[in-house]
Each structure stands twice: as C-alpha cells, then as structure tokens.
Amino acid sequence: MFRLNHNDAVELEYQICRLYKCNRGGVSGLADADNFESNPMCAAYMVISYIYAKGLEINDYDDEYDRFICTYENIFNHSDEYNMQLEVSHYIDEISNIVDQYI
C-alpha cells in the first residue's frame, strides 16, 4: 500500500482527533500520524466506523461511503497508476468534509 508523507499523515491525525475528541494516540493509539503514514485507509475506516457506531448514518449517504472506501482502496493499492499528490489531497479533503458533517 502507498505510504503517505508525514505532513499528510499529520492532517489525517488532526481530523481523526477532531472527530473522536481525543489527543494524538487516542483510540487505542490509532489516532496517530505514524499509523496513517503506512495505513492511510485506517483514517477512512475510523471515520465511517464512527458514523455507524454512533447511529449517525443517513441512508442517502450509505452508497457515498461505499464509493469513498472502494475508490481510495483502489487508489492506494494501485498508486503507480495515479497522480498520488493530487489523490492524497482529494482524500484528505473528503475526510475533512465528512468529519465536518459530524462534529
């Protein structure tokens, strides 16, 4: 899987900490840039899991979350086929937008 640069991983850490209202290393150590560097999809799984665990999902968005997960799993697993700087930027923006909807 694609490895994020540390600055991008820090941004994902920030978004997850906002959502979970925790500090770095919260959620059993998962809310940590070091984790997201090597596991960028972990941030998406954490966001979507939070939404479902809290019962906040809206049926209209279920397909959107499925699309989001599938799209970025494909991108990160086939990073040599994409402009990763652009795709990572889009990924972070989408995570941020989803978090904004739920905080």
Q: For 81-96, write each residue's pLDDT tens digit.
A: 999 999 999 999 999 9
The average pLDDT across 44-49 equals 96
For the chain, what is the largest distance between any 2 Cα atoms, rounded to a whole number of angstroms? 37
Give the Å distances, CA to CA, from 103 to 54, 58, 84, 100: 12, 15, 28, 6
Higher pLDDT, 97 or 55: 97
CB-based contact 51:58 (threshold 8 Å): no
Given a contact cutoff of 8 angstroms between Cβ atoms, the answer to whether 54 and 36 are in contact is: no
Question: 2-6, 58-62, 97-101 — which is least confidently predicted?
Answer: 58-62
Collapsing DSSP to helix, strand or coil, 41 comes out as helix
